[in-house]
Structure formats: structure tokens, C-alpha cells
Amino acid sequence: MQNPTACLLVIGNEVLSGRTQDANINFLAKGLGAIGIPLREVRVIPDVPETIIGTLNEVRARFDHVFTTGGIGPTHDDITSECVAAAFGVPWEPHPEAWARMEAHYAKTEQGIAAFNPARQRMATMPRGATLIDNAVSLAPGFTIGNVHVMAGVPRIMQAMFAVLAPTLAGGPPIQSRAVHSSGAAEGTIAEGLAAIQQRYPELDIGSYPYYRAGGQGVAIVAKGNDAARCEKAIDEVTILFNSLGAETVAGEPAM
């Protein structure tokens, strides 16, 4: 079975300006790999309607799933939701269920229903046909329309949304990974032998990553694919390669 593919759009000027260090790419890369929907591309784009609409229409045609983070709050710079509606060519309108949940919530607050003001009503306004992604942290839901999953940018809210979304997605076999590392040989020394191993395992993705840690520097080799036994076998060959060059090895990735 072929794995479905994923693209992530990180929407927000704050990541591009360096104001905010993104934490969602790495979380979703791991989470999507675990459910067999590997992440194939990420784009970080600004809060500009034409850019969001154009990018969304390009990538939703190219990937099985598109995940977005950011831009679904109540302020003027939160424009993801209306841009998704424009990309799909559907009306952007109050979502009955989201509206009812938020209206009921704010009715219980100090200011009462007045607190469910136009800015907050925008968070209950969605593309027609959207289905909700629950938000266990701060109520205002995300949503799915077609193959596009719209989530919050705040990491702990995004993570809560992904926790309810992930089990609803039909993934492929999870991505398996095996690794070995050595502080005894440089990348340039093992490169030729490593390329030969990659050729014998064309279905695997074998990566070579130098590392610089407190405990010393070296090279980590990682094999990824759907078949754990094949990953294991490839890493065995890499271990023999290191050893043949007089370099000692340790199974797995180096400690952080």
C-alpha cells in the first residue's frame, strides 16, 4: 500500500519575521509519520490573502492531505478561515455547531453574551461544508474541508486538535526507522560505501547526518521505510561498513 502524502502550511508573519520560533513543523512531522501520512513539504507563508489562497489551491491538488496552522484567532491578522473559503469557492458563514458552542460558553462569562462579540463570532464563521475539529484547550474549533485540515497556531492548541483529528484519518503503514552512529569515521570516508548500500535498498530512505554534541561529534546513519526488517538489515550493513574502516559504532541515534 502506498502511503498518503501530507503538506503543511504554516501561516503567519511572526514565523517569517523571526518573532516566533515554529514548534509545529517538528511535532506534525513526527505525528504524521507515526500514522503513515508522511510530510512531503512545508511552506511558511505570510498573512496575505492572495498568497494563502493561491498556495492552498496549489498544494491541495498535489498532496493527499493539507494541514494548516495559524491564523484562526479573532484579530484582524487572523485570515486563514476566510481564505480557505475563497480557495474552495464556497461561502464563509456562521457554522451552526461552532456558533452554538461559543455562544453558550460566553453566555456564562462575566460580560455574558455581549462577550461573544463580532471578533469572536469570526472564530465560529467557516467555509460552508466544514466539519469541526474540537479544541479541548480554548474552545474555538478548527475544521476540515475536503482534504484541508485547519488548526490553531499556538502549539498546545494545535496538538490538542491533532489528537482528535489524527484517529479520523486513513493513514498508510507507519514509517519505520533504524539508526546507527559512530564517532570514529567522517561522512567523507563512508560516503562511497554508504551510496552502495542505498543502491541495494532502493525502497528505503538512507540519510547521513553529522552531529556535534556535548558527548563528542560523529555521524548518524538513519534508514527509513515501511519494512522494519529491511531497515534493520540496511543498518546492519552500515555497521559492518563503519567497522571495516576501524570505526566503533553504537546502535540507534546519538543522545541529545
Nearer to a second copy, 16 or 166 (CB): 16
**Residue of 54, 93, 120, 134 interacting with a second copy (CB under 8 A):** 120
All residues at 6 or more sequence positions from 48 whose CB lies less than 8 Å from its CB, including other chains: none
Q: Decide: is 44 part of the binding site for a second copy (CB under 8 A).
A: yes
Take residue 85 and report the three cell numbers written for it.
Answer: 473559503
Nearer to a second copy, 89 or 199 (CB): 199
Give the angle subtended at the CA of 196 by the CAs of 192 and 202, to the nearest 5°. Answer: 135
> Which residue is listed with cell 496538538?
159
Contact positions with a second copy (CB under 8 A) in 121-140: 123
Cα–Cα distance between 185 and 242 in angstroms, integer?
7
Nearer to a second copy, 90 or 250 (CB): 250
Cα–Cα distance between 38 and 6 in angstroms, integer?
6
**Residue of 69, 177, 239, 249 interacting with a second copy (CB under 8 A):** 177
Take residue 102 and report the three cell numbers written for it.
Answer: 461559543
**Residue of 93, 205, 227, 236 interacting with a second copy (CB under 8 A):** 205
Q: Which DSSP symbol is given to 71?
A: -
Name the residues that contact a second copy, by CB under 8 A.
10, 13-22, 25-31, 33, 38-47, 51, 73-78, 115, 117-120, 123, 154, 156, 175, 177, 187-192, 194-195, 198, 205-210, 212, 222, 224, 253
